Amino acid sequence: MRELGIQGLPGPKKGTRNLVNVATHDDLVQRHFNVERVNALWLTDITEHPTREGKVYCCAVLDLFSRKVVGWAIDRRCESDLVNDALSMAGRSRMTSGETVIHSDHGRQFTSWAFSENIRRYGLLGSMGTVGDCYDNAPMESFWGSMQIELLNRQRWITIVELSVAMADYIENFYNRERRHSSLNYLTPNEFEDLHLTQNQTQLS
């Protein structure tokens, strides 16, 4: 480098703050997990589970009102593409407004520039809980707990494809369509949303 007259860029100054995992949004939820309508509050998070070929990562977006998974993505890598794919699925499938909140933790995938841009693209309000506190996203943790008990821990998974297909099937064909929730008067997420839609149409007619 000296012979070619090339100089490297200086590193960060001593005392410079590392911005990885620093929150890009305030906590708009404050553990108030009560909503009155669909698309008022979405929760999102990532889980991982091993196979003999390596880990599988799943990101899900949960509508708190109905506990329905409205967006999800599965990959062998845990990068910003994973969370953006899940958010994009939710954004394409739901009617959102400037008041729809998307709440996450401080993981580097959620603090990334790409995820923040995606939030703005769909006109959502970003929200983040405090660092390392599962109670700030408790309903999301409850969803992962159910998946762990009802699917992931029931067998040893051999291939990444096998587990990925099982996760997708669990979300779409069991959790949203068949799994009943005590918090929803023992209706499934799909049934609860359909009932809510019917009631609203009746009130308007």
Tokens of 145: 């707990």
Q: What is the mean pLDDT of residues 23-31?
A: 76
Domain assignment present for residue 156? The answer is yes
Structure tokens, 178: 């068949």
Q: Is residue 24 part of a domain?
A: no
Average pLDDT over residues 111-124: 95
Domain with residue 53: its CATH number is 3.30.420.10
Residue 81, pLDDT > 90, answer yes
- 45 close to 144: Cβ distance less than 8 angstroms: yes
Q: Tell me: the pLDDT tens digits for 139-176?
A: 999 999 999 999 999 999 999 999 999 999 999 999 99
- Domain contains 1: no
**What pTM does this model have?**
0.84
Q: Is residue 2 part of a domain?
A: no
For 87, what's the count of Cα atoms within 13 Å in the CB-facing half-sphere?
31
36 located within any domain: no
Reply yes or no on whether the pLDDT at 204 is more than 80.
Answer: no
Asked whether the beta carbons of 55 and 76 are under 8 A apart, the reply is: yes
The H or E element containing residue 75 is: strand 68-75
Gap between the Cα atoms of 65 and 182, Å rounded: 13
Q: Is residue 129 part of a domain?
A: yes
Q: Is the pLDDT of residue 13 over 50?
A: yes
41 neighbors 65 (Cβ within 8 angstroms): yes
> Per the structure, how many domains does the chain have?
1
Flag whether 32 is in a domain.
Answer: no
